[in-house]
Amino acid sequence: MEVTKTARLFFTALALALGLVACGDDNSPPAVHYYGSVGSGAGCSENLFKAYGAEVFTNAAQSLVDLAAADDTVGAHLASLSADDQKTVSAEVATLLGGSLGGTDEATSAQRAAIEDAFRIAPDDYDHFTDLIGQALSSAGVTPNEINECVVPLFADQTFKASFITP
């Protein structure tokens, strides 16, 4: 029996609500997979950036840099950067996320290239990386519904994806 996207979203939300999403025994954040639960966009705020404000995207970007730098799968190069360089990358990611979700400042091609160079995500690791983006946005206060409805469709956007993946 095939599970529909709506059913997956329902069971993910139910698991979150009931606290059934297991944490690792190393006190890692809950393993919540946002990709693959692509929403229709119907539950998406017209402008996610306006709804949450710049501070949320700044916090999410810093959280993403921290999560990715500590991650064995995607963080090797990012972890090798200095704290100042990581802070610069965080600001560029905040511009990329904010601009992609309704903010007025769009990431320039130079910023996108710097992000790609800092993260160096292999194509096969992109889905794992999108989990980290979902965790970072969630920790900054974006609701799981809006992550699934507004942000997950963005993960499939080739320009957004190219900002992180190293060919």
Q: What pLDDT is recorded for position 44?
A: 66
Q: What pLDDT is recorded for position 12?
A: 42
Residue 3 has pLDDT above 70, yes or no: no
Rounded distance, CA 102 to CA 142, Å? 14
Contacts of residues 39-42 at CB distance under 8 Å and 24 or more positions apart, as own/partner, are: 39/5, 39/9, 39/145, 39/148, 39/149, 39/150, 39/152, 39/153, 40/149, 41/149, 41/150, 41/153, 42/149
Cβ atoms of 167 and 158 closer than 8 Å: no
Judged by phi (left if over 0) then psi (alpha if -120 to 50, else beta), residue 120 lies in left
Tens digit of pLDDT for each residue in 71-119? 999 999 999 999 999 999 999 999 998 888 888 888 899 998 999 999 9
- Could you tell me the domains of the chain? 48-162 (1.10.490.10)
Q: What pLDDT is recorded for position 146?
A: 86
Question: CA dist 136 to 4, 67, 92, 102, Å?
Answer: 26, 8, 15, 18
Closest C-alpha among 110, 70, 74 to residue 89? 110
Residue 145 has pLDDT above 70, yes or no: yes
Tens digit of pLDDT for each residue in 39-50? 455 556 558 888
Rounded distance, CA 94 to CA 15, Å? 29
The pTM score is 0.73
pLDDT, mean of residues 42-65: 85
